């Protein structure tokens, strides 16, 4: 699902720094005073997570002060760990969570994996990231990484290990989210995907086939153009969740194209992105907090 037909010119602008995605672009990001104050009290650290296949350079966020909070793992889209996902991690941590945003491509490159302006419409740009994506699409890599990231979160003093863990993913992070919820089912209590790519395929390792292994509540937000290309996928997901008796909501977002929740995309849709964020927080409040 990660191709030029779906991404419709997904762009990455390296001039958009961490600060520009945060408090420095208050008008564009529409930060409220309360949210700005909460995010200012978030601790951000670059951490190296020990993995079975090496070391993953990652970003960690948690609220200031003593205490412990439920943990959340964020799987990025195909452009990897970059300022917009750091902003997501910071924003979520301000709500009272310990958040890990890893570099999913650590086997091949350090983050950021995109250097300079990136346009998904250009074959030469796509050629830079598609091999990286291939390094994490194998089921064994997904399974190993999921276990290692959650194990790392559980070693942190800031993580409340009495609470379930949340996991969320964007684009290629959608299948990773499903597999994480299935592989570490005893720890994952909530899972959410946003314009997840390839959740339903005709292959024997299709992500939807792991639904019976899940114990989490699941929310899957579907882009309108993804639904247009494969209108049966949402029905397969709904039927699979119902058959497995896994609580889930699969929702198509009218007028929102693949990538609508991620700033920096030409199709970023702020009302749609904020609705998705509201659904995410409600899910985590029900299942984690």
Residues, the chain: 289
Strands 165-170 and 71-75: parallel
Map out the domains of the chain with their CATH numbers.
4-287 (3.40.50.1820)
**pLDDT tens, residue by residue, 200-243:** 999 999 999 999 999 999 999 999 999 999 999 999 999 999 99
- Residue whose pair of structure tokens reads 């709500």 in the numeric block: 95
pLDDT recorded at residue 133: 76
Residue 58 has pLDDT above 90, yes or no: yes
Segment 73-95 shows an average pLDDT of 96
> Using CA atoms, how far apart are residues 288 and 264, in angstroms rounded to an integer?
29
The predicted model scores a pTM of: 0.89
> Using CA atoms, how far apart are residues 275 and 75, in angstroms rounded to an integer?
19
Whether 272 contacts 260, CB under 8 Å: yes
- Up-side HSE of residue 26: CA atoms within 13 Å toward CB? 10
- Residue whose pair of structure tokens reads 């609508």 in the numeric block: 260
Whether 86 contacts 34, CB under 8 Å: no
Whether 288 contacts 163, CB under 8 Å: yes
> Using CA atoms, how far apart are residues 282 and 280, in angstroms rounded to an integer?
5
Whether 84 contacts 22, CB under 8 Å: no
**pLDDT tens, residue by residue, 236-265:** 999 999 999 999 999 999 999 999 999 988
Whether 6 contacts 197, CB under 8 Å: yes
**pLDDT tens, residue by residue, 23-36:** 455 555 556 677 78
pLDDT recorded at residue 251: 98
């Amino acid at each position: 699902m990660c191709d030029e037909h779906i991404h419709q010119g997904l762009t990455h602008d390296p001039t958009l720094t961490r600060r520009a995605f945060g408090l420095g672009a208050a008008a564009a990001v529409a930060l409220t005073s309360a949210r700005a104050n909460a995010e200012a009290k978030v601790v951000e650290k670059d951490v190296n997570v020990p993995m079975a296949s090496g070391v993953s350079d990652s970003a960690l966020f948690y609220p200031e002060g003593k205490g412990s909070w439920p943990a959340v793992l964020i799987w990025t889209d195909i452009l990897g760990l970059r300022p917009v996902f750091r902003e997501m991690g910071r924003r979520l941590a301000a709500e009272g969570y310990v958040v890990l945003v890893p570099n999913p491509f650590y086997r091949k490159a350090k983050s950021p994996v995109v250097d300079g302006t990136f346009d998904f419409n250009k074959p030469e740009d796509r050629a830079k990231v598609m091999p990286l994506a291939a390094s994490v699409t194998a089921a064994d890599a997904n399974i190993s990484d999921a276990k290692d990231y959650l194990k790392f979160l559980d070693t942190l003093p800031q993580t409340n290990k009495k609470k379930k863990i949340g996991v969320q993913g964007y684009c290629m992070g959608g299948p990773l989210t499903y597999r994480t919820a299935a592989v570490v089912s005893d720890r994952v209590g909530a899972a959410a995907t946003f314009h997840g790519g390839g959740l339903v395929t005709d292959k024997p390792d299709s992500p939807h086939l792991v639904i019976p292994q899940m114990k989490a509540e699941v929310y899957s937000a579907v882009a309108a153009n993804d639904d247009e290309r494969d209108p049966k996928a949402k029905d397969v997901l709904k039927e699979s969740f119902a058959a497995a008796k896994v609580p889930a909501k699969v929702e198509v977002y009218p007028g929102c194209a693949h990538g609508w929740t991620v700033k920096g995309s030409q199709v970023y849709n702020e009302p749609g992105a904020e609705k998705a964020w509201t659904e995410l927080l409600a899910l985590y409040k029900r299942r984690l907090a």
